[in-house]
Amino acid sequence: MKIHFKDIIKILVLLVGFSGFAQEKSFYIRSIRSIHLENTPSVMQQLKFQPVDVVYNKITQFLNDKITISSSGTFDVSAFANINPGVMGSTVKDSIHVELYLVKNNPEQIENILAKTIFKFSYGNFDVAAGLLIAPTEVQLQKNDEISLWVKILPTSNIDINKNPKYDHVTKPTGMQQIAGMRIEKIL
Amino acid sequence: MRFFLFLIFFPILGFSQESFSYKTHKQQVFNIRPGADKVFHYIKMDKQDIVSNSLFVIDENTQKLVIPENGFYEITASFHFNPSTSVIKFNRGGVNFGVVQIAEGIEQYVAATRKSFDQDNQDLFSRIEVYPTIVYLTKDAVIAPAISSGLLGNPLLSCVLGCPRKDKNCVSFSMNIKLISDEDSFQRYY
């Protein structure tokens, strides 16, 4: 059978299309450095990532420390942060409540919170890292939506977190390297 | 012409199918000790509990899961775990759960979750998830699920990866690994 020039073009177009399928349309980033939190209850604090933290990226743009969605669609998002308040506490009534948020665009608008999770540190476990995990959640995102990860110490906490400016609260737990991370997968 | 197209696309289409899925209801018991945070307690796996596999080379002699080619892999895992203790009350109860890479003599979690138990869940089963984690792994790295001591105040003796007796549908441990891209890269930190 004779192959025409048109057929070769078709094959090339199809090949480019199929090679797109061969790579999953995902984004994964994790921090390779620990992060300090301020002892400011009720204030949103961003867990910032840097370009070197990107593991895999087929669906976002990462410029000036901002992660923006390249094309609109349905996405599956999840995240985690390992947090250690770094204090001991003194009574069994002491507690520290921390929330982790996955946010699009302005974090001060409630409707922009894509998903969140809470952890309540209690006496005996203040100086032990806990994993705050945001389970995979399906969300609709538009092109140029900015995705970010935030932490808030809730005002229901009754003791302070470690206030030493050199202490990093988002950190490697003893025995593992993971600090904080985020995954975005384009489903549709 | 159609056959020609098939020959071109077959390996590309085949690419996205490479994955491994494992699920078990079986129970395992561990003794986890404070200060031994570099000791990985590996989870015993049974070939009968493999749900599907097109990723690893597995035959009757296989003892390890060996990464077949360089690439980006997506890993998920789920542990149903009970510390089975009363000693965590007001003391440290940090335990690590995840998937370890053994490569060039180094053992380290490539995907992991920290669970801190306290007086409320020290004697209950908890579900601990390692949500989808993308990592770059190199050919011949060995992959294995494990539990390890994080920061503990007391030893956890006879803690259980398992299920309550009456719950027939409960999964004690599951793990999925999928090759998502075979492009060249490098990843030093996880």
Question: How far is the C-alpha of B150 from the C-alpha of A176, rounded, in Å?
Answer: 8
Establish, for the pair of chains A and B, how many residue pairs have beta carbons separated by less than 8 Å. Answer: 136
pLDDT at A6: 61
Which among A122, A129, A183 has CB closest to B132?
A183
Nearest to B8 among A11, A128, A173 (CB): A11
Shortest Cα–Cα distance, A111 to chain B (Å): 24
Look up residue B146 and give its amino acid.
A
Supply B145's token pair.
Answer: 């699920």
pLDDT band for position A9 (cuts 50, 70, 90): low
- Shortest CA distance to B148 belongs to which of B44, B29, B41, B43? B41
First to last CA, chain B: 46
Question: What is the residue-averaged pLDDT of chain B?
Answer: 92
3-state secondary structure B40-89: EEECCCCHHHEEEECCCCCCCCCCCEECCCCEEEEEEEEEEEECCCCCCC
Whole-number Å distance between alpha carbons of A6 and A187:
33
How far is A159 from B26, CA to CA, in rounded Å? 42
DSSP states along B1-19? -HHHHHHHHHHHHHHTT-E
- The CA distance from A135 to the nearest CA of chain B, in Å, is 7
Domain A24-186 maps to which CATH number in 2.60.120.40, 1.20.58.60, 3.40.50.300, 3.40.50.10860? 2.60.120.40
Please state, in angstroms and as integers, the Cα–Cα distance from residue A9 to each residue in A59, B10, B135, following that order: 26, 19, 35
Cβ-based burial of B156 (10 A; exposed 0-12, middle 13-18, buried ≥19): buried
Lowest mean pLDDT among A162-176, B8-22, B115-129: B8-22
Contact A125 B118 (CB under 8 A): yes
Environment class of residue B184 by beta-carbon count within 10 Å: exposed (0-12), middle (13-18) or buried (19+)? exposed
Task: Specify the range with the lowest mean pLDDT, choosing from A48-52, A161-165, B164-168.
Answer: B164-168
The reply to whether residue B108 touches residue A78, judged by beta carbons under 8 angstroms, is no
* B164 vs B32 pLDDT, higher one: B32
pLDDT at B13 over 50: no
* Model confidence pLDDT, tens digit, residues B101-140: 999 989 999 999 999 999 999 999 999 999 999 999 999 9
Q: Are A183 and B133 within 8 A, CB to CB?
A: yes
DSSP B167: -
Q: pLDDT grade, residue B11 (50/70/90)? A: very low
**DSSP bridge partners of B76:** B176
Segment A42-90, tens digit of pLDDT: 999 999 999 999 999 999 999 988 999 999 999 999 999 999 999 998 9
Position A22 scores a pLDDT of: 60
Closest CA to A114 of A90, A84, A79, A89: A79
pLDDT, residue B168, reads: 84
Which pLDDT does position B166 carry in this prediction? 86
Across the interface, whether the CB atoms of B129 and A133 are under 8 A apart is answered yes
pLDDT tens profile A108-150: 999 999 999 999 999 989 999 999 999 999 999 999 999 999 9
Rounded CA-CA distance B43/B115 in Å is: 17
The contacts of residue B157 (CB under 8 Å, 6+ apart) are B31, B85
- Spatial distance between the Cα atoms of A138 and A121, rounded to a whole number of angstroms: 28
Residue B66 predicted with pLDDT over 70:
yes
Contact yes or no for A177 and B108 at CB 8 A = yes
- Cβ contacts of B7 within 8 Å, gap of 6 or more: none
Residue-range domains of chain B with CATH: 2-181 (2.60.120.40)
Cross-chain residue pair A128–B88, CB shorter than 8 Å? no
pLDDT-derived band of residue A23, with 50, 70 and 90 as boundaries?
Answer: confident
Q: What is the pTM of this model?
A: 0.91
Q: At residue B41, does pLDDT exceed 90?
A: yes
Q: In the numeric block, which tokens belong to residue A60?
A: 């976002």
Check pLDDT > 90 for residue B89.
no
CA distance B108 to B188: 11
For the cut 90, the answer to whether the pLDDT of residue A184 exceeds it is: yes
